[in-house]
Amino acid sequence: MKITKICCIGAGYVGGPTMAIIAQKCPHIQVTVVDLNRERIAAWNDADTVNIPIYEPGLSAVVAEARGRNLFFSTDVAKAIDEAQMIFISVNTPTKTYGSGKGMAADLKYIELCARQIAAIAKDNKIVVEKSTLPVRTAEALKSILDETGNGVQFQILSNPEFLAEGTAVDDLLAPDRVLIGGDSSAAGEQAVQALVDIYANWVPLDRILRTNLWSSELSKLTANAFLAQRISSINALSELCEVTGAAINEVAKAIGMDSRIGPKFLNASVGFGGSCFQKDILNLVYIAKSYGLTAVADYWEQVIILNDHQKRRFSNTIVKTLYNTVSDKKIAFLGWAFKKDTNDTRESAAIYVADDLLNEQAQLAIFDPKVSRNKMLADLDYLATRSSKDNAKNATSFDEPYSACENAHAIAVLTEWEEFRAYDWQRIYDKMQKPAFVFDGRNLLDRAALEAIGFVYFAIGS
């Protein structure tokens, strides 16, 4: 089956970049990305592609090339579903905030809504691709909804989880470590898998396209995120031990990373992982393990989250303790709010939780992030509902540039590893700060020797 029309439901951090690359690499395929969020779609259609709603290095150029040619963004979900032969579901799957599984299970209401809409609209056979990260065996539920409520149309369901990392999404999509496609072993299932393989084969070498059964594919995505997060919690756990023993975490990381069985990546100790995926996917894994009665497995993975929460809290406690046990009315500058560099995504960013702790201690926060707006910062704090919006707005101020944010501050906390922070005029910053001037480097980003030579009291995690 030759695919010429694709639709993707969900124009978020996954749907937008993924479809932009498919459109760029497959000019013969018409790709329509739809979303219920009108503002988001309007931003994707902004005349100047610099204003697209997601910041990713290189993405605006890809969109500029393909948009209007074979890449379209629209709010007309029904039309796009009707016209497409292949439909990617790339909607959000957050942790449930109500009912059974609250705080752990994935909330599949958006997925189910998509399935019902596809079933209601489809008049000819469709391939439905799970792009969202889903609990293992979700395809079964999807199939049942599609088959029971459809008009006798044949649906094939594929699992094609996305492994891109925010901040490097374009590079990851252009040269993925692997593309994973799970499908049914029936003849029709294999044809559907082949149709998707043919799309990726336009730019991905065939030996990087992996075919598995549906359940292996669904579970592999959760497992990959769990392993990545576990590695961060492992190094972070040791960072605390380094601080009390005189070992330096960077030295330990280098020493163990040179063991080829361990490898050097993802060994940077930090204030903790954030992002929309790691926590929610591990919680989901824990929930699935529990639901099969596998308590030891569930407890093992849950510890990754417990350690991550501990690391964030530990960082804010260190700031308070070091500033003579009080930060009340002290100005603390935050460099960074995004959960990592090269993205404007702030979901579950460690900065939010450190800010919340310090606001509880009555600190005055001055925040600068190169890509995050003031409204977003305040919305993140308001979402925690720890205090009123008015109090958040009064005590957390955002700045358009770093030097004013740091002026008169008692301390600077580095929360995101933006490269540009290294290149700042740190002498100028020091001169305008309260003394002693502290830097709490939550990302092990800055040059300790250079900052100490200027006169800063420098704290880095794990040393």
Ligand X SMILES: NC(=O)c1ccc[n+]([C@@H]2O[C@H](COP(=O)([O-])OP(=O)(O)OC[C@H]3O[C@@H](n4cnc5c(N)ncnc54)[C@H](O)[C@@H]3O)[C@@H](O)[C@H]2O)c1
Q: Quote the Cα angle for 115-66-75, to 5°.
A: 35
Q: Is there a catalytic annotation at residue 277?
A: yes
Quick note: the x/- pattern for ligand X over 79-108, rule CB under 6 A, is -----------xxxx---------------
Q: Which stretch binds ligand X (CB under 6 A): 12-20, 178-186, 302-310, 379-387?
A: 12-20
Question: Does the protein bind ligand X through residue 276 (CB under 6 A)?
Answer: yes
Q: How far is the CB of 94 from ligand X (least distance, A)?
A: 8
Among 37, 213, 223, 322, binds ligand X (CB under 6 A): 37
Nearer to ligand X, 266 or 424 (CB): 266
Q: 51-79 b/e with 16+ CB inside 10 Å = b?
A: ebbbbbebbbebbeebbeebbbbbeebee
Residues 6+ apart with CB under 8 A from 46: 52
- Look up residue 231 and give its two tokens: 């590695």
Q: Which stretch binds ligand X (CB under 6 A): 9-17, 382-390, 396-404, 443-451?
A: 9-17
Q: How far is the CB of 255 from ligand X (least distance, A)?
A: 31
Closest-approach residue to ligand X (CB): 12
Q: How far is the CB of 111 from ligand X (least distance, A)?
A: 8
Torsions phi, psi for 335 (to 5 deg): -100, 110
Quick note: the x/- pattern for ligand X over 124-163, rule CB under 6 A, is --------xx----------------------------x-
Query: Quick one: which H or E segment has residue 333?
Result: strand 331-335
Q: How far is the CB of 89 from ligand X (least distance, A)?
A: 9
- Cβ count within 10 A of residue 7: 26
In a 13 Å sphere around the CA of 382, the CA atoms on its Cβ side amount to 12
Q: How far is the CB of 365 from ligand X (least distance, A)?
A: 26
Question: Does the protein bind ligand X through residue 346 (CB under 6 A)?
Answer: no
- The catalytic position among 8, 242, 277, 406 is 277
Residues 206-225 within binding reach of ligand X (CB under 6 A): none
- Look up residue 20 and give its two tokens: 């932009």
Please tell me whether residue 456 adopts helix, strand or coil conformation.
coil
- Cβ count within 10 A of residue 229: 25
Question: Does the protein bind ligand X through residue 67 (CB under 6 A)?
Answer: no
Please tell me whether residue 212 adopts helix, strand or coil conformation.
strand
In a 13 Å sphere around the CA of 458, the CA atoms on its Cβ side amount to 20
User: What is the contact surface with ligand X in residues (CB under 6 A)?
Assistant: 9-15, 34-37, 40, 77, 90-93, 110, 113-114, 132-133, 162, 164, 166, 276-277
Catalytic residue set: 277
